[in-house]
């Protein structure tokens, strides 16, 4: 595994040997993590990997079973009001008073904090000015999520927690949320987020921790994670359905240039090789002689997704069922 | 001082949301008044004695409904919808949120009692309980606080918001029957004896007394029952309270 940078000066979050057990389920099984001030850090992993549990321990919602945790210099489990005033939490799908307007809810929550951000500024930040007088119950899903973000920002936090911030967003709304995170960190503040979307982690995070089955199995920049894992060239293709029957299927190569051909769950084939010229030569040669059509042939460098899938597979879990 | 400020801040928001919520307004305000007008107008219950019974009875019903029923249901709903979880992630202490919730219910209960008295006086010619005002005020405040505490305790026991109406009604409806709220019981009846173990009967008795010109039958023990149940409710609530739904 890629090891954490041994120590970061002035970490906002410092975690050593974190464990959390629910009954006889070990949800978090020994995590070490440092997040620096001003950083955007993403916990990436399949559903059930322990991301939300980890985040909720760092937020002060849950008490850990073992290990040391320090956030903004204090133990979040103590739930000190001074600590809670310095963080902002955007939870997954959480209720808001339905019979208040957007402005009233923001005023209500801003009133909980010692140094709140002005409500008009919050409305501007999440672009809800036009919906300020709308009752929460009449908001669209995307508007509610933006209100969630605004509520997380109400206390003018130094550290923002985002638990799957864009799940259920359309692509445009996702871009909007990403811009918001970027503008927040631009002000020198720290963000820790969870996601199971590779592109989100790659687009937002300075560093990524890949979490599988309660452990961080890779930690670093997207480039470091890809470099440390999936190397070489990735070749992907599929063959036309009409041609994949009869004698051709039997002749389908199981290796190309000495590398094993992988069967993807969607019926496609993939291969990782350090000798792309030879592999492609063999592949196209086979296709030519057999009269097979190679659909959707793609050749590229290994991506974060490749590295991620490899990491998840290597740590013994089937992601095809729970990754989106 | 800071906590007081937060509670006032929260009560204001609660009140605004409450006024806009048609279901809350109907069940809390319209239902008791409708009930009062209907029972008072019914031929076999009519006459001055009948209405005289039903004005304090509906006042009792109003307090229990606005405090016990509403607090139990609202807290269970707020928990299921994640409102409690959200509040728990802010510097606002959870107890101030809960106290605000209970203060709001108590204010609603007080307003309802005033409205019930006014409707009784204007439409049903039930005299105002002038000599009984001190008893009335103390009984309504203690009764409301007691019912709020018990509502909070029950909210912790309710598995989820969908089960809330069933659980709350299963507790409240039988109590109305044995506590001189829906029907006037004979003093020595077994039902009255059962009812006297629970706070609703004692609240009802205090309110019936408040309408009696010389306050005949006033017993401080009734107030103590309310205090006792209130403290028990609060202790139970501390043990049962959850800010997140049961998984």
Q: What is the pLDDT of residues B57-76, one digit of tens each?
A: 999 999 999 999 999 999 99
Range of the domain at A290: 233-301
B165/B181 Cα distance (integer angstroms): 20
Q: Which residue has the tokens 């000066």?
A: A9
* Pairing mode of beta strands A207-212, A40-44: parallel
How large a percentage of chain A has pLDDT more than 70? Answer: 90
Instruction: Select from B15, B192, B206 the least CA-distant residue to B105.
Output: B15
- CB of A48 within 8 Å of a chain B CB? The answer is no
A27 to chain B: which residues are within 8 Å by CB? none
Q: Over the stretch B95-122, which tens digit does the pLDDT of each residue have?
A: 999 999 999 999 999 999 999 999 888 8
Q: Taking CA atoms, what residue in A is nearest to B90?
A: A84
Is A93 in contact with B82 (Cβ distance < 8 A)?
A: yes
Is B82 in contact with A94 (Cβ distance < 8 A)?
A: yes
Strand partners, A294: A239
Q: Are residues A183 and A75 in the same domain?
A: yes
Q: Across residues A108-130, what is the average pLDDT?
A: 95
Is A137 a member of any domain?
no
Q: What 8-state DSSP symbol labels residue B127?
A: P
Q: Among A211, A227, A243, which residue terminates a domain?
A: A227
Structure tokens at A50: 């322990």
Confidence at residue A230, expressed as pLDDT on a 0 to 100 scale: 57
B85 to chain A: which residues are within 8 Å by CB? 61, 91, 94
* Residue A283 predicted with pLDDT over 80: yes
Is A153 a member of any domain?
no
Instruction: Select from A257, A251, A260, A261 the least CA-distant residue to A286.
Output: A251
B89/B188 Cα distance (integer angstroms): 53
Alpha-carbon dihedral B148, B150, B155, B158, rounded to 10 degrees: -150
* Residue A163 predicted with pLDDT over 60: yes
Q: Across residues B120-140, what is the average pLDDT?
A: 89
Q: How far is A71 from chain B (nearest CA, A)?
A: 14
Q: Are residues A175 and A222 in the same domain?
A: yes
* Residue A320 predicted with pLDDT over 50: no
* B48 burial level (CB within 10 Å; 0-12, 13-18, 19+): exposed
Confidence at residue A226, expressed as pLDDT on a 0 to 100 scale: 82
The count of structural domains within chain A is 2
Q: Could you tell me the pTM of the whole model?
A: 0.84
* Residue B124 predicted with pLDDT over 50: yes
Q: Are residues A207 and A239 in the same domain?
A: no
B2 to chain A: which residues are within 8 Å by CB? none
Q: Are residues A217 and A239 in the same domain?
A: no
The CATH number linked to A61 is 3.40.50.300
Q: Are residues A67 and A197 in the same domain?
A: yes
Q: Are residues A254 and A289 in the same domain?
A: yes
* Residue A58 predicted with pLDDT over 70: yes
Is A222 a member of any domain?
yes
A32/A34 Cα distance (integer angstroms): 7
Average pLDDT, chain B: 90
- CB of A151 within 8 Å of a chain B CB? The answer is yes
A140/A192 Cα distance (integer angstroms): 26
Chain A, residues 95-114, CB within 8 A of chain B, namely 95-100, 104, 108-109, 111-114
Band (B88; pLDDT cuts 50, 70, 90): very high
B9 to chain A: which residues are within 8 Å by CB? 108, 111
Q: Among A167, A199, A227, which residue terminates a domain?
A: A227
Is A96 in contact with B92 (Cβ distance < 8 A)?
A: no
Of A59, A95, A111, the CB nearest to B9: A111
Is A61 in contact with B88 (Cβ distance < 8 A)?
A: yes
Is A314 a member of any domain?
no
Is A196 a member of any domain?
yes
Band (B41; pLDDT cuts 50, 70, 90): low
Strand partners, A34: A14
Q: How far is A78 from chain B (nearest CA, A)?
A: 12
Q: Over the stretch B155-182, which tens digit does the pLDDT of each residue have?
A: 999 999 899 999 999 999 999 999 988 8
Q: How far is B4 from chain A (nearest CA, A)?
A: 12
Band (B47; pLDDT cuts 50, 70, 90): low
Is A319 a member of any domain?
no
Q: What 8-state DSSP symbol labels residue A266?
A: T
Band (A169; pLDDT cuts 50, 70, 90): confident
Is residue B61 classed as helix, strand or coil in its secondary structure? helix
Q: How far is B245 from chain A (nearest CA, A)?
A: 12
Is A104 in contact with B20 (Cβ distance < 8 A)?
A: no
Is A261 a member of any domain?
yes
Higher pLDDT, residue A244 or A61: A61
B21 to chain A: which residues are within 8 Å by CB? 98-99
Q: How far is B77 from chain A (nearest CA, A)?
A: 10
B6/A109 Cα distance (integer angstroms): 10
Of A94, A95, A112, the CB nearest to B92: A112
Band (A216; pLDDT cuts 50, 70, 90): very high
- DSSP strand E in A9-121: where? 11-22, 25-36, 40-44, 66-71, 87-90
B147/B64 Cα distance (integer angstroms): 6
Q: Among A173, A195, A227, which residue terminates a domain?
A: A227
Q: Are residues A190 and A284 in the same domain?
A: no
Q: Are residues A163 and A223 in the same domain?
A: yes
Q: Are residues A246 and A296 in the same domain?
A: yes
Residues of B near A (Cβ–Cβ under 8 Å) read 6, 9-10, 13, 16-18, 20-21, 78, 80-83, 85-93
Q: Over the stretch B232-243, which tens digit does the pLDDT of each residue have?
A: 999 999 999 999
Alpha-carbon dihedral B75, B78, B81, B85, rounded to 10 degrees: -110
Q: Are residues A179 and A279 in the same domain?
A: no
Q: Taking CA atoms, what residue in B is nearest to A94?
A: B82
Q: Are residues A62 and A172 in the same domain?
A: yes
- CB of A61 within 8 Å of a chain B CB? The answer is yes
Region of poorest pLDDT, from A76-85, A256-265, B154-163: A256-265
Q: What is the complex's ipTM, to 2 decimals?
A: 0.90
A81 to chain B: which residues are within 8 Å by CB? 91, 93
Q: Are residues A199 and A291 in the same domain?
A: no
Cα dist. B240→A111, B76, B102, B153, B155 in Å? 28, 12, 17, 6, 8
């Amino acid at each position: 595994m890629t090891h954490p940078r041994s120590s970061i000066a002035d970490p906002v979050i410092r975690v050593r040997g974190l464990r959390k057990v629910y009954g006889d389920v070990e949800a978090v099984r020994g995590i070490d993590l440092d997040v620096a001030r001003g950083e955007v850090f993403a916990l990436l992993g399949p559903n059930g990997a322990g991301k939300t549990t980890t985040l909720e321990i760092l937020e002060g919602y849950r008490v850990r079973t073992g290990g040391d945790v320090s956030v903004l210099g204090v133990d979040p489990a103590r739930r000190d009001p001074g600590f809670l005033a310095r963080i902002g939490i955007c939870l997954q799908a959480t209720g808001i008073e339905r019979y208040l307007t957007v402005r009233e809810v923001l005023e209500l929550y801003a009133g909980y904090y010692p140094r709140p951000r002005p409500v008009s500024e919050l409305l501007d930040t999440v672009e809800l000015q036009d919906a300020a007088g709308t009752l929460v119950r009449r908001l669209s899903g995307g508007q509610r999520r933006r209100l969630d973000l605004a509520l997380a920002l109400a206390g003018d936090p130094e550290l923002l927690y985002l638990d799957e911030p864009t799940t259920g967003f359309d692509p445009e709304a996702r871009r909007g949320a990403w811009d918001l995170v970027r503008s927040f960190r631009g002000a020198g503040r720290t963000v820790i987020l969870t996601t199971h979307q590779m592109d989100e982690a790659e687009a937002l995070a300075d560093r990524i921790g890949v979490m599988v089955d309660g452990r961080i199995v890779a930690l670093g920049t997207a480039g470091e994670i890809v470099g440390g894992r999936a190397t070489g060239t990735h070749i992907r293709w599929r063959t036309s359905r009409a041609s994949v029957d009869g004698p051709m299927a039997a002749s389908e190569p199981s290796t190309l240039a000495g590398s094993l051909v992988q069967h993807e769950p969607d019926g496609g084939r993939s291969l990782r090789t350090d000798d792309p010229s030879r592999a492609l030569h063999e592949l196209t040669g086979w296709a030519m002689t057999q009269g097979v059509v190679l659909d959707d042939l793609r050749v590229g460098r290994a991506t974060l997704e490749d590295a991620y899938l490899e990491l998840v597979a290597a740590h013994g879990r089937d992601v095809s069922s729970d990754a989106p | 001082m800071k906590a007081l400020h937060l509670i006032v801040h929260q009560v204001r928001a609660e009140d605004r949301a409450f006024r806009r919520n048609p279901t809350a307004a109907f069940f809390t305000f319209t239902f008791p008044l409708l009930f009062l007008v209907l029972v008072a107008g019914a031929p076999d219950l009519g006459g001055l004695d009948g209405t005289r019974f039903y004005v304090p009875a509906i006042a009792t019903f109003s307090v229990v409904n606005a405090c016990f029923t509403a607090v139990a249901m609202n807290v269970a709903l707020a928990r299921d919808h994640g409102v409690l979880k959200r509040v728990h992630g802010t510097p606002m202490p959870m107890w101030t949120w809960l106290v605000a919730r209970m203060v709001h219910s108590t204010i609603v209960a007080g307003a309802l009692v005033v409205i019930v008295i006014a409707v009784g006086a204007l439409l049903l010619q039930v005299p105002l309980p002038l000599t009984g005002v001190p008893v009335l005020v103390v009984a309504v405040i203690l009764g409301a606080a007691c019912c709020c505490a018990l509502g909070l305790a029950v909210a912790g026991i309710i598995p989820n918001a969908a089960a809330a109406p069933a659980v709350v009604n299963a507790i409240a409806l039988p109590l109305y029957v044995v506590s001189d709220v829906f029907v006037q019981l004979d003093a020595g009846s077994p039902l009255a004896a059962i009812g006297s173990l629970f706070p609703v009967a004692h609240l009802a008795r205090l309110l019936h007394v408040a309408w009696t010109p010389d306050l005949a039958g006033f017993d401080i023990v009734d107030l103590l029952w309310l205090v006792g149940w209130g403290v028990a409710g609060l202790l139970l609530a501390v043990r049962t309270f959850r800010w997140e739904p049961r998984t």
